[in-house]
Structure 1
Amino acid sequence: MIDWSEQDMRVSRTELKKAHERLQELSIPLASLSKKQLKNLPASDYFMAELMALADISSAN
């Protein structure tokens, strides 16, 4: 059995950057969905609120 207390659980800045880039890539197809389509997604209330806020953005400022 692994003793997790002895493992280094820190995440490198490179891994964090890669994770953020993957999330940005996921947001592109989600941003193109209509609000009706977004409501049909199986997601948490917090995530749905964020998606609805994304849908309200009409252009980059």
Structure 2
Amino acid sequence: METENKTTIIKKSVKSGISFGSALAMVISYSTWHSIGWAIIHGLLSWVYVIYFFIVHY
């Protein structure tokens, strides 16, 4: 029973992290490039683009 609760919590946390990463990537992309197309592509890349952006620009 306890294992099921931990698994559910982990799954929800991962899903939230992916959603937040996509939103963050799209906001960073749009504010940088002013393009909805690039924002969508970078949103699909999610955390990969966020990490790339901070390595390159900071």
TM-score interval w.r.t. the shorter chain? 0.3 to 0.5
Greater RCO, 1 or 2 (C-alpha within 8 Å, sep 6+):
2
Normalising by structure 2, we get a TM-score of 0.39
Larger radius of gyration, structure 1 or 2? 1
